[in-house]
Amino acid sequence: MKISAAFAMVSLVAIESAPLIYYVEKNPVYFPRMLAIMQRIASGAMLATTSAITLTEVLTLPIRQRDAAVEAAYRKLLTQSQEMKLIPITASVA
């Protein structure tokens, strides 16, 4: 099944750390799938959310490795883009 068919009736998707890592770091196996999902999000076909914990998880390695470009890509996607809504962690979210 194609991504477009699988997500045809989806209006909101919550994305965890691993898929975002696949997308930002262009994982050879999973990047094409995530690109298709992110294109649907960018087109307005669906909304996306993730938690503030995701920001911590995806930044750990780039900060440790001093990879400013990857760190900036994550920060831009998760804190400055219209495509992704970053949800703060509250007791009800937890």
Is residue 94 over pLDDT 80? no
pLDDT score recorded for residue 82: 84
CA proximity to 84, closest of 72, 94, 74: 74
Q: What is the pLDDT of residue 90?
A: 84
- On the question of pLDDT at 6 being above 90, the answer is no
The vertex-8 CA angle with 49 and 21, nearest 5°, equals: 40
DSSP string, 7-28: TTT-SEEE--HHHHHHHHTT-T
Question: With bands split at pLDDT 50, 70 and 90, how would you rate the model's confidence at 71?
Answer: very high
Contact predicate 31/23, CB 8 Å: yes
Q: pLDDT tens across 11-64, in order? A: 899 999 999 999 999 999 999 999 999 999 999 999 999 999 999 999 999 999
